[in-house]
Amino acid sequence: MNYPNGKKATNPSAINRSKNVLNTYGNRGMTLENEIVETNKFYLETNIAVIHKKPTPIQVVQVDYPKRSAATIKEAYYRRPSTTDFNGLYKGRYVDFEAKETNNKTSLPFSNIHEHQVEHMRRVDQHGGICFFIIRFKPLNETFLLPIRPFIRAWDTEFDGKRKSLPYNFIKDNGFEIPFRLQAKVDYIKVIEKVYINGGD
């Protein structure tokens, strides 16, 4: 297992990712999250969609206000997000999703999906938003868009029971593989267009 290099990071999402890498993932190449951030930038610049990553929620405990310079946060902690990482709009529709990647080949562990996030996504779906997971199986180099509805069915029936992960075959059968493009490495708008816009809801 590779450890991320350096404890000193210059942006919160990088640090958050580092923690995840330490906990669950290997450290090869660009993370799914960063590829999505780049893809969103491409969508924004080419006027395709307006989708942003939300800032990492941080609980601030102590702040210094030195004269004539910026307030310095001296003590703070990462909080567990109560919603998802990404939201925005495409063709007037509200879009909301969470990205997860795993080194596993056969399933996505439920362990790093928080119940609050699932409740949020359930609400988004009920209110007519476009809501899904982007899931990458790193050893297979395959990335899927999994709509929230099949996910919720699996979560509701299996989470309180025995199963603690979502099988690869379930994701493949109920999801849609996301194509790779050089400028849009995780070109999920292509799938949204096909599944939600052209294909009805």
In the complex, which residues of this chain contact a copy of itself (CB under 8 A)? 7-12, 15, 19, 44, 47, 49-50, 52, 54-63, 65, 70-78, 81-83, 87-96, 120, 123-124, 126-129
Nearer to a copy of itself, 92 or 199 (CB): 92
Does 183 show up as a binding residue in the annotation? no
Smallest separation, CB 162 to a copy of itself (Å)? 29
Nearer to a copy of itself, 94 or 159 (CB): 94
Does 31 show up as a binding residue in the annotation? no
Amino acid identity of residue 76, one-letter, is A
Nearer to a copy of itself, 59 or 141 (CB): 59
Does 98 show up as a binding residue in the annotation? yes
Smallest separation, CB 105 to a copy of itself (Å)? 29
Nearer to a copy of itself, 116 or 153 (CB): 116
Does 117 show up as a binding residue in the annotation? yes
Residue ranges for the known binding site for Mg(2+) are: 83, 85, 98, 117
